[in-house]
A and B are shown apart, each in its own frame.
Chain A
């Protein structure tokens, strides 16, 4: 196990390092000087540009830039944002809680409701429930998230006036408001973006679970359990479902990055102060250190997701780690 674990972790680190390298060189082969835009807004002297280039290390040879980038990244230094003039790690740290809250809620919804619906579909395979859920989830998958968000915001905020349409905090709530009102306020703001993101992404979880459950239900031991006269509900949830959870672990690994990436459009629509809207906003300002930072974080999450999924597999199924 120890050896297997070490190899798997090493693989993850190499993957991440190569991803960082790809990002770095992608940035250098694209034409256009990230600093030229600064001069659009206000007159800027060539001397000032030279100073800025020096500050961002753009005057150094490529090899040295790359070395500085790698060692900086390894030390957790992602550079300074061009637009905000503050360390990228600081900006990311500020926005991370909002994104984790939104992404975590969506993951929770998908992995409770989505799994339950998938199992129901499998149990009633080919029936009306199965078919309707299939169509509904596929429709959700096909709707552009930002439009669904606009629509829900209009319905819930403008028409019914039951939920706020954007942001994360009510500005009228003073800084001295208690813990409970603040929590309720944040949760109220969370409902619409979480619902939107979940509606457009739950289809994948449902399908995975449905397929896995169908395979599990076809296994001989399920038939044995039924033959022994065990109640169908128990057969489904106690016997079959446990075996249908394995493939879902892979899906969990794939979904972890949704914490950061899935929310770019939805955060923008609901003005949710997370990483997605930070990244989208950074494009206009050509804030490449900030974009690199968010892209690196997202890549790290993807790699971590795969690693966690593999670890869970190994933990639950000894055949994996002995293979």
Chain B
């Protein structure tokens, strides 16, 4: 079995990992199936009578603009999960590439890359994004996702570089080189697979971070722009009716919490599986 497959199996064997996988799968199902079975998340069918409590017609109630909260939570799941998935895939990919090259090439390439990464790590991600959002008015969703991804790879590159440095001089790499393996082949076939464990852990934990980050920025009105539903934006919209229509903010908040929790449970289980000592 491939190392990744073995890790996933090990996650499923752990109770916490299993809970995480089930919760995340439920969120993804809701996000994918939502548009087919639920009303439109932006329709305002009865704007005079918004803020209705949960009922059979609206299992999570309606918000102050009479929009169906369940549909909006599902719509928010689509946005939040897509943003998280794409941004994290991007940061893991870029981080792995930079880490591989810096670690394998060594010398000046490594020194320059790591100085830059050190400096980038010193700037808090939130402030980088705030600066970008301030300058780029009405930022397109794609650019927002790219920005989140582009600010998240610094730690990953250090992680991969460390792994490469550890293995670069090992005998099996020397053997691969002796057999005529080129730099690319050694990096991607022999070195990268060894970093899959830490990379998967970083990716799952990264998903949780990005979801909280995006929710926070949307709560400030800076992330996902209305009318596109987002969990953070829903909580912001509903803060005036926190008392009279609590369902309008409780359900998106629960969605954020459960998703981040699931990502962290899976990440922990992965880490335990990859490194049993830390359990």
Report A's interface with B, CB cutoff 8 A.
Answer: 14-19, 21-23, 26-27, 30-32, 34, 37, 138-139, 141-147, 150-151, 154, 158, 211, 257, 260-261, 264-265, 268, 279-280, 282-284, 286-288, 291-292, 294-295, 298-299, 302-303
Contact = CB atoms under 8 A, between A and B. Distances in A.
Task: Give the dominant DSSP class at A's interface.
Answer: helix
B219 A18 contact: no
5 contacts: A32-B135, A32-B136, A265-B220, A291-B134, A295-B128
B109 interface: no
B120 interface: yes
A291 B131 contact: yes
Contacts of A295: 123-124, 127-128, 130-131
Contacts of B265: 138
A139 B135 CA distance: 35
A282 B257 contact: no
A142 B258 CA distance: 7
Contacts of A143: 253, 256-257
Contact of A22 (B123, B256, B258): B123
Contacts of B216: 144-146, 264-265
Given A19-B119, A22-B123, A147 B131 contact: no
A143 B232 CA distance: 12
B222 A211 contact: no
Interface in B183-219: 208, 212, 215-216, 219
Nearest to B268: A138
B264 interface: yes
A14 B256 CA distance: 39
A295 B125 CA distance: 10
A73 B225 CA distance: 34
Interface in B84-128: 115-116, 118-124, 126-128
A275 to B, nearest CB: 10
Interface string B232-272: 10010001001100000100010011101100110000000
Nearest to B120: A22
A107 to B, nearest CB: 16
A19 B122 contact: yes
A35 B184 CA distance: 47
Nearest to B137: A32
Given A143-B253, A144-B256, A283 B220 contact: yes
Contacts of A291: 127, 130-131, 134
Contact of A15 (B119, B130, B257): B119
A254 to B, nearest CB: 11
A265 B213 CA distance: 10
B32 interface: no
Contacts of A142: 208, 212, 256-258, 260-261, 264
Contacts of B261: 138-139, 142
Given A19-B123, A265-B220, A294-B127, A283 B133 contact: yes
Contact of A286 (B116, B126, B135, B239): B135
Nearest to A297: B127
B112 to A, nearest CB: 10
A242 to B, nearest CB: 21
B174 interface: no
A158 B244 CA distance: 12
B225 to A, nearest CB: 13
Given A26-B132, A32-B136, A265-B219, A302 B239 contact: no
A82 to B, nearest CB: 10
Contact of B123 (A147, A268, A286, A299): A299
Contacts of A151: 242
A15 B212 CA distance: 28
